[in-house]
Amino acid sequence: MPARLEIEGGVPLRGTVAASGAKNAALPVLAAALLTSEPLGLANVPALNDVRTMLALLDRLGARATRDESRVQIQVEHVKSDRAPYELVSTMRASVLVLGPLLARHGSARVALPGGCAIGVRPIDQHLKGFARMGAEISIENGDVVARAGRLKGAKISTDLVTVTGTENLMMAAALAEGTTVIENAAREPEVADLADLLNAMGARIRGAGTARIEIEGVTELGGTNHRIIPDRVEAGTLLVAAAITQGDVTVTDVVPDHLWAVLAKLEECGVPHEVGASWIRVRAAERPRAADVITSPFPGFPTDMQAQIMALLGVADGHARVTETIFENRFMHVAELVRMGACIETEGSTAIVRGVDAYQGSPVMASDLRASAALVVAGLAARGTTEVARVYHLDRGYERLETKLAALGARIRRIE
Ligand code: EPU
């Protein structure tokens, strides 16, 4: 039986906890190792299953990597294979991030088409359209995307929708293209800007990352460098919501508060008091939260990756709230489980109507994806009685020792293997 988490709810969390490095920054940064034959020295790399999956994939492609706690040294002297197989891509969609770097450095890539996942269909058509604009030939062969190109050519690209890994993939490919590439409607997520910082330190010429217009002047070669991964804003946000829902007093350190602006604004609307320092955020909650409507949108809007966790909070808030998910079509898998815990939530298409109840009741629940799992843990921390969250492997994809961090804040939580 896979590991479960057992949580005895009702303890207000207290203390200080550090955020780890960001999963969604670490994955593209690791993929960028494919762009150079020289080594990258990476710091603040979180110990997560998704990071292990990316390292396993890069290993097959020719990378040699060593890891010492949160430091990773990685080098791809020669690309040994251009193939990302289905077994890896199907466990982690972010595997598709090797497509751009392989194409740019090696001239070909064969990556299994990701297909669907628990939170929706999630096509990669925008990535492929962009590569085609840069001169790549794209075909689908036996379930794989096959991309081939001589040296890629700079192009004007405007994506039809905002895509985070799409922007990252195109930016990496464009870094080695001939001429200038402009990406309009680019994702503005901090993780995109972090990747651009790394690429520029490797010798790329990228301007505007973090805005909707990124300009990349291609260079012929990139080199090695050292880079520190930015803090995980979603992990930090999850810990802050855990503090709020237990009416605790928690300081999360090692964060970039600007990256959490939308989450903090929403907590404020919910009447959750907090203080912000240069690299820390403290939530000091002594009352039941108030209801507030939430709509997810690309950065700097409210992140879809925090939607489930904030819904867990709204489930026990005073009043009714509407939570609208605009990024993914099927990201309400936590609703049925929260209802098992006594929540009063109904969904209508992409909106969930949440009527706050006084308290959750501990119950056995099942995780379905990463952020849904986090929401169930958060709810369990506030529930009356014992909650058992099954299928914790979803949580382990994106949270580094979440139960250890929560236990250090006083939570009664343990892993049952
Ligand atoms: N989309 C398309 N075509 C494309 C690309 C995207 O239709 O070519 C659609 C998607 O189906 C989705 C929307 O556009 O409906 C946005 O998708 P996006 O490409 O931005 O998502 P992603 O890059 O696959 C990253 C994060 C996700 C996060 C989303 C949105 C990584 C490795 N993953 O995914 O993180 O939810 O951006 O912010 O960066 C998580 O950490 O739990 C997680 C799912």
- How does DSSP assign 241-260, residue by residue? HHHHHTT-EEEEES--GGGG
* H/E segment holding residue 227: strand 225-228
Looking at ligand 1, which residue's alpha carbon is closest to its atom 37?
164
| Residue of 48, 53, 159, 327 to mutate, ligand 1, most atoms within 8 A of C-beta | 327
Residue 374 near ligand 1, beta carbon < 6 Å: no
| Residue of 49, 91, 117, 122 to mutate, ligand 1, most atoms within 8 A of C-beta | 122
Residue 103 near ligand 1, beta carbon < 6 Å: no
Q: Copy the structure tokens of residue 32.
A: 């960028």
pLDDT in tens, the chain (417 residues): 689 999 999 999 999 999 999 999 999 999 999 999 999 999 999 999 999 999 999 999 999 999 999 999 999 999 999 999 999 999 999 999 999 999 999 999 999 988 666 777 779 999 999 999 999 999 999 989 999 999 999 999 999 999 999 999 999 999 999 999 999 999 999 999 999 999 999 999 999 999 999 999 999 999 999 999 999 999 999 999 999 999 999 999 999 999 999 999 999 999 999 999 999 999 999 999 999 999 999 999 999 999 999 999 999 999 999 999 999 988 999 999 999 999 999 999 999 999 999 999 999 999 889 999 999 999 999 999 999 999 999 999 999 989 999 999 999 999 998
In this predicted structure, what is the pLDDT of residue 115? Answer: 67
In this predicted structure, what is the pLDDT of residue 116? Answer: 63
Atom of ligand 1 nearest to the CA of 129: 8
In this predicted structure, what is the pLDDT of residue 367? Answer: 84
In this predicted structure, what is the pLDDT of residue 82? Answer: 97
Residue 196 near ligand 1, beta carbon < 6 Å: no
| Residue of 50, 89, 164 to mutate, ligand 1, most atoms within 8 A of C-beta | 164
Looking at ligand 1, which residue's alpha carbon is closest to its atom 24?
165
Residues 6+ apart with CB under 8 A from 172: 28, 31, 32, 35, 97, 100, 101, 104, 195, 199
The string of DSSP codes covering 352-410 is: EEEE--S--B--EEE--SHHHHHHHHHHHHHSBSEEEEE-THHHHHH-SSHHHHHHHTT
Atom of ligand 1 nearest to the CA of 126: 8
Strand partners, 284: 249
Q: Copy the structure tokens of residue 67.
A: 């890891």
Alpha-helical regions (H) of 302-345: 307-314, 333-340
Q: Count of CB atoms within 10 A of residue 1's CB?
A: 7
Residue 27 near ligand 1, beta carbon < 6 Å: yes
Q: At what angle do helices 261-269 and 233-245 cross, to 10 degrees?
A: 10
Residues 6+ apart with CB under 8 A from 274: 240, 264, 267, 268, 281, 282, 283, 284
Residue 129 near ligand 1, beta carbon < 6 Å: no
CA dihedral angle for residue 173, residue 177, residue 179, residue 184, rounded to 10 degrees: -10
Q: What is the CA radius of gyration of the chain?
A: 21
Residue 399 near ligand 1, beta carbon < 6 Å: no
Looking at ligand 1, which residue's alpha carbon is closest to its atom 20?
163
Looking at ligand 1, which residue's alpha carbon is closest to its atom 25?
164
In terms of C-beta density within 10 A (0-12 exposed, 13-18 middle, 19 or more buried), how is residue 296 classed? buried
* H/E segment holding residue 7: strand 4-8
DSSP assignment, residue 25? H
Atom of ligand 1 nearest to the CA of 327: 15
pTM for the model stands at: 0.97
Nearest CA to 19 out of 327, 253, 179 is that of: 253
Residue 126 φ then ψ, to 5°: -70, -35
In angstroms, the CA 352 to CA 363 distance is: 21
Residues 6+ apart with CB under 8 A from 349: none
Nearest CA to 313 out of 384, 245, 411 is that of: 245
Residue 163 near ligand 1, beta carbon < 6 Å: yes
In this predicted structure, what is the pLDDT of residue 122? Answer: 79
Encoded amino acid at 360, one letter: Y
276 alpha carbon – ligand 1 mean position (Å): 29
| Residues 10 and 399 sit within 8 Å (Cβ to Cβ) | no
Residue 305 near ligand 1, beta carbon < 6 Å: yes
Return the active site residues.
117
Atom of ligand 1 nearest to the CA of 124: 8
Residue 309 near ligand 1, beta carbon < 6 Å: no
